[in-house]
Amino acid sequence: MFEALKPLPQDPILQLMQTFRDDPRPDKVDLGIGVYKNDAGATPIMAAVHEAERRLLEGETTKSYVGPAGSQGFNDAMARLILGNESSLIRDGRTSVVQTPGGCGALRMAAEFLRLCQPDTTVWVSTPTWANHLPLLGGAGLTIREYPYLNQNTLQVDFNAMLEALEGARAGDVVLLHGCCHNPSGADLTLDQWQAVTTLIQRKGLLPFVDMAYQGLGDGLDQDAAGLRHLASQVPEMLVAASCSKNFGLYRERTGALMLISATATINAAATSQLLSVIRSHYSMPPAHGAAIVETILGDEGLRKLWQDELDGMCKRILHLRHAFADALAPAGDFGFIARQRGMFSFLGITPEQVRRLREENGIYLLESSRVNVAGLNDRVLPGVAKAIRNIL
């Protein structure tokens, strides 16, 4: 039966990663896939991760199964990271967290869970959004609707258009929001805007679903979660998909978490049992290693400080690169929005043809949509990249 299948093109982000790897030019620059690079252009293992791995290797006593929810220690630590140590939601038993294979695993399990709750669920996603949101959520059978998010001319949030579109959502519809560091635009909601969206969600009876893939890489761990925490404090139910790929640099270890927030502890216990059954029928149990690293780091004061200092350094470095990049592009136009945006990504606002020329003539790789990974820059390559972009403009 396989002979009827037609070959499919690769996911554009992964395809670009491969093309970059195959490019023999020594001075090529990868601003495609969302991976943090240091001053030397490398993506090293974080020091706290290294140390946690060493301890795990020495102390690990078994490779027996972990169970569909993964490690409870990891899950509890992630709940506190997302909602804060003092969260009354955690205290009241209204939350549960399950360890998942990456943020993708969390997104997909959330989608499968939502379909179980309500087979004809509609989920509203921002235009634009991370390309993989569509197959992850749509592939589970959810109906996808889009709300405008970015003004294509200013490359800033078009908040009125967003609210206007969400007025068209029906009670029970799901709204997917990016917790911080919007992918692909870098344009985040202000706290005032989070409050206004929260009011709309409450008034219309919508279910918020927050994708938190970059906590700590925008303005800091707590600052990045401020909007999410406000929302969580006001609504009866909510979902959060979290990823440890970027803030712990655990990309290939596939480490993430899915949080359920319910109106009461009793409802939450029943909902969690359903979620665990969904997980059992998909991948049975998550891989252990990445979560064990995170649990070790977050559970040890010294390691946690080491990790947080390194993460803060990465966050500050991205902010520095954003300012330096905007300044270096300034002679060709107003790129101040790059300095104001947060996280790894911003759009340059150039055409696919200009993107192709940058790749072919200069070995500079960015997505066809003109999304650049600012965290792929460093002070050594930045002037050359900016010059090539100015030339093309």
Q: Would you please indicate which residues are annotated as catalytic (active-site) residues?
A: 130, 211, 213, 246
Buried/exposed code over 11-46 (b: 16+ C-beta within 10 A; e: otherwise)? eebeebbeebeeeeeeebbbbbbbbbbeeeeeeeeb
* Interaction between residue 113 and ligand LMR (CB under 6 A): no
Buried/exposed code over 144-153 (b: 16+ C-beta within 10 A; e: otherwise)? ebebbbbeee
How far lies 373's CA from each of 32, 49, 69, 146, 338, in Å? 6, 23, 33, 24, 11
Residues sharing a CB contact under 8 Å with residue 106, sequence separation 6 or more, in sequence order: 100, 241, 242, 243, 256, 257, 258
Residue that is written with structure tokens 């149990």 in the block: 285
In the complex, the smallest distance separating the C-beta of residue 330 from ligand LMR, rounded to whole angstroms, is: 26
C-beta closer to ligand LMR: residue 307 or 365? 365
In the complex, the smallest distance separating the C-beta of residue 310 from ligand LMR, rounded to whole angstroms, is: 20
Return d(Cα 314, Cα 284) in angstroms, integer: 35
Cα end-to-end span (Å), the chain = 50
* Interaction between residue 183 and ligand LMR (CB under 6 A): yes
In the complex, the smallest distance separating the C-beta of residue 203 from ligand LMR, rounded to whole angstroms, is: 32
C-beta closer to ligand LMR: residue 30 or 51? 30
* Interaction between residue 126 and ligand LMR (CB under 6 A): no
C-beta closer to ligand LMR: residue 95 or 183? 183
* Interaction between residue 130 and ligand LMR (CB under 6 A): yes
In the complex, the smallest distance separating the C-beta of residue 10 from ligand LMR, rounded to whole angstroms, is: 11
Whether 60 and 288 have beta carbons less than 8 Å apart is answered as no
Question: What residue number has its CB nearest to ligand LMR?
Answer: 34
Return d(Cα 60, Cα 292) in angstroms, integer: 10
Element containing residue 200 per DSSP (H, E): helix 191-204
* Interaction between residue 33 and ligand LMR (CB under 6 A): yes
In the complex, the smallest distance separating the C-beta of residue 155 from ligand LMR, rounded to whole angstroms, is: 17
* Interaction between residue 13 and ligand LMR (CB under 6 A): yes
C-beta closer to ligand LMR: residue 184 or 208? 184
In the complex, the smallest distance separating the C-beta of residue 171 from ligand LMR, rounded to whole angstroms, is: 31
C-beta closer to ligand LMR: residue 11 or 334? 11
- Interface residues for ligand LMR in 147-176 (CB under 6 A)? none
Q: Which of 30, 34, 48, 189 binds ligand LMR (CB under 6 A)?
A: 34
Judged by phi (left if over 0) then psi (alpha if -120 to 50, else beta), residue 162 lies in alpha
C-beta closer to ligand LMR: residue 13 or 56? 13
Residues in contact with ligand LMR, total (CB under 6 A)? Answer: 6
Q: 71: which DSSP letter?
A: -
Return d(Cα 299, Cα 276) in angstroms, integer: 25
Q: Which of 132, 223, 308, 354 binds ligand LMR (CB under 6 A)?
A: 132
Helix (H/G/I), strand (E/B), else coil: 365: strand
Compute how many other C-beta atoms are within 10 angstroms of the C-beta atom of residue 345: 26
Q: Interface mask (CB under 6 A) for ligand LMR, residues 205-244, using x and -?
A: ----------------------------------------
Chain residues that interact with ligand LMR, rule: CB under 6 A: 13, 33-34, 130, 132, 183
